Amino acid sequence: MRIVSLNAWGGLLHERLMPYLVGIDADVLCLQEVGQTPGSQAEWLTYRDHGVELQQRVNLFEELKAALPGHDGTFLPFARGDLFDGDRRITSEFGLATFVRKTYPVIAQVAGFVHGEFSPDGWGEHPRPRNAHCIRLFDYDRGCPITITQMHGLRDTVGKGDTPARRHQANALVEIIQQVRREGDRLVVCGDFNLLPGSETFDILGALGLTDLVTSRGHDDTRTSYYKKQPRFADYMLVTPDVEVINFDPVAEPEVSDHRALLLDLR
């Protein structure tokens, strides 16, 4: 089984992103920062936040669904806010997307908020709402289920250090996982956590037997050249000891976002 986690950066590098996500041939794609704008025929809109402007692919989720006909896709927004076509405001949803190859049946799933609640009337102040998605698949080749969870961790303008909100987020994530996972399931947890490697979040997740593959295997960078700041940790992939890791790679090339894709091949 191949699992790929990626912060898609709103599809900003669309021409590279789409062929990469098709060609990587993942069984499960866990994507953060994906947009959907029902009713809009535009391809690009502009996100504006305190002097920062970024182009957003208007209907990235629908484009991915069309490009991945062999997968079932689930879109899980954390908020609906304004994007701009010039000075015209257009409301758009933004959040997580999970794609699962149709040969792996989803036998249980839970989605929920790990910080805040769904914001229907604007992006809100930082730290904004954040959600997670946990799925339990049946792996016919192994003859047993596997539980896979993704999260986009909250962004705090003061940095990536531990805070009470991040402690609550980690405990909320554990609760979501425990609603889906059954005893004996292999477990994979991934996403853009917006955390430093020494965070207490990893101790909380460690109670489930999870170990991070990024730091434990000596990787020190999960960002691409499009990200100019330090530190260069944001994305993580954690597994339980019963996951047989065949290959794990924070993918340096091609650059399809300001985050690297995390690619895991497992048995």
Q: Which residues pair with 238 in a beta bridge?
A: 189, 212
How many residues in total does the chain contain?
Answer: 267
Mean pLDDT by 10 residues, the chain (267 residues): 98 98 98 95 93 95 98 98 95 98 98 98 95 98 97 96 98 98 98 97 98 97 97 97 98 98 98
Bin 218: left if φ > 0, else alpha if -120 < ψ < 50, else beta: left
Q: Which pLDDT belongs to residue 188?
A: 99
Residue 51's pLDDT is 84
**What is the predicted pLDDT for the residue at 237?**
98
Bin 124: left if φ > 0, else alpha if -120 < ψ < 50, else beta: left
Those residues with Cβ within 8 angstroms of residue 132's Cβ, 6 or more apart along the chain or in another chain: 96, 111, 112, 113, 114, 149, 150, 151, 152, 172, 173, 176, 191
Angstrom distance (rounded) from CA 45 to CA 77: 17
- What is the CB-side half-sphere exposure of residue 162 using CA atoms within 13 A? 11
pLDDT for 151: 98
User: What residue spans define the domains of the chain?
Assistant: 2-266
pLDDT for 50: 81
Q: Is residue 107 helix, strand or coil? A: strand
pTM of this structure: 0.97
- 62 class by beta-carbon count within 10 Å (0-12 exposed, 13-18 middle, 19+ buried): middle
Residue carrying structure tokens 């040969």? 103
Q: Which CATH architecture has domain 2-266?
A: 4-Layer Sandwich (3.60)
pLDDT of residue 69: 98
